[in-house]
Structure 1
Amino acid sequence: MSHQTGISASNDLQDFFARAKDGEIRCIQVKIAEEKLELGGSKDAVGSWEEDYNTMVKPYLEDKQPCYILYRLDTKNAAGYEWVFISWSPDFSQVRDKMLYAATRSTLKQNFGGGQIKEELFATAVDDCTLAGYKMHLLSQNAPAPLTMAEEELEEIKRTEIKTAGVDTKHQTLQGVAFPITDEALVKIQEFIAGQCTYVQLSLDMADEKIVLEKAEDIPTSALTGQVPSDHARYHLFNFKHTHEGDYTESFVFIYSMPGYKCSIKERMLYSSCKSPLLGVLEGQMGMEFAKKLEVDDPKELAEKNLYEEVHPMKNIVKSAFARPKGPSSRGPKRMTRNKEGQETS
């Protein structure tokens, strides 16, 4: 499902698309302007697709401005020439622009004709868009990679799940299982970062191997516990708005909820394995900073008081009591004295 922005292709762009598939045009740039998809530029083929690639694609890559690039290959399928669809979203572009372009990708594909798009490339750095970067993308798509080994281990888990149902797998994890995040989920995460909502819930589509959006809402802290499913694992992003030491504070919290053995072994393993790569995207690529990362198996752990204590743990300020030095254990031997009558007294 794509997030609907209301943006559509202009009449001029639709007319251009109808004329651009005859084999003369090699490269097309599309931009969003005045809430329309508009033609940014185009270049005719000169040599082979490999010879033309860098000289035609790189000039369209602006430092702070996202765009779409459609690049024609020399191969054909039943619908005509095959194309590469590049979504350019540089790291330093504005959050609003990133969100807008991510949410409008499917609209452009629909207007152009998805049947002719052979490969899709999402890029945030120029190196990703070069010919070498594109070929590396193809290798990662087709060649055996660490993910393939992880998938084989997961298949083994599925085959032996009945036999190992009573085995504690809490500490068994797979490394490097990085499912891609859908466009719809990315848009809502960007809205969360921009303060347009306070809560985002993500789940794993284990059939399609993607991280998908479950819900995105603006909720108070008191409603957080009611968002946690009791029968499935989830990832949660929450903006904890509160007062600390008299100052209003907003703290991003990442929550991984796993309701114990109510989930299958496969689900537990996958959620555990995908957590670190997901955090890598959120923190490394999207610039999020989390005040706290929590792992819970009971929604009650997310009560407002508990959340506050996790974000602002109490410091140990107890000081040891002053130790009075001990007096002498003995005052020495008793002295014998005589009273006026001459009698000895102690």
Structure 2
Amino acid sequence: MQSGISASTELHSAFQTLVNDESSRFLLATIADESLVPLDTIASQSPSDFHADLALLAPHLKPNAALYILLRRSPSRFVAVTYVPDAAPVRQKMLFASTRLTLVRELGSEKFEEQVFATTAEELTAEGWQRHEAHVAGEQPLTQEEQDLQGIKEAEAQESGGTGARRVQTSGHLSMRVDEGVVEALEGLKDEGKDENLVQLKIDVPTETITLVSATAGCTAAALSTSIAADEPRYSFYRHKTDSGAAPILFIYTCPGTSKVKERMVYAASRGFVVSLAETTAELPIAKRLEFTSPEDIGPEAIDEEFAPKEEKKTGFAKPKRPGRR
């Protein structure tokens, strides 16, 4: 989902100042009049202690207002933070979530080593950031030799067209990590001879990695409501057999009302990437894109309705009525 909002000239200028001025630690930005605009620049008080400078953000983090924070992690390392508190207005939440990729892309995605999505002010304190760093560091506790071997394997997978876990760039969207087996499962839906006709994907929210949940065989339209997870969001790709014998591919996005706010934001903002991944990387033609709050709402009637011929109501020429007497 893209919002159509773009970065203003003022924001470009303010970010360039942040990049060039090593005494600047934070650049705050928001959305105003359908544009990304700067709010304030905060100078560092402890140039050698990033964690100590995080205390400078506290007065600017409101419990009911979203905010973009572009921060200098070190002299040449920058991080883009999207702060969307739970108490922010719903429309604001969706707008900030759907525009965060645009913000980074327009300012130069190569300048940011990381993107962070926060829903509480506590996450942007020294303690909260250290927990984040520990989590990221714990994702790949590899030795240098293991890292080199992993790099070789990923390079080989890319050379051979494999689907090892790696970052994927799709047209019009930033890159995201795509886990092993995702693209292969999507490509399998093109083969009508295969039994698997329902592929479910999810996002590992902390790492924003697209992962494969399952590839289900012989799923009917009537079984979709019980086959798709009802306790968390899902991206589902379904090969539907129509009465005419065709087998179009449906993209079905479900997001239960019980989903966490952060889940909703990340899934909504990443939906376009997943569709593009299927269409461009897996070369999977998507015939219809459907969205439901709960899998319980999905049924044969709802699916068949999408393919029912639209009846055009024809009306004959009506002769104008004769004006009445005055």
TM-score (norm 2): 0.48
Greater Rg, structure 1 or structure 2? Answer: 1
TM-score (norm 1): 0.46
Q: Which has the higher contact order (CA 8 A, sep 6+)?
A: 2
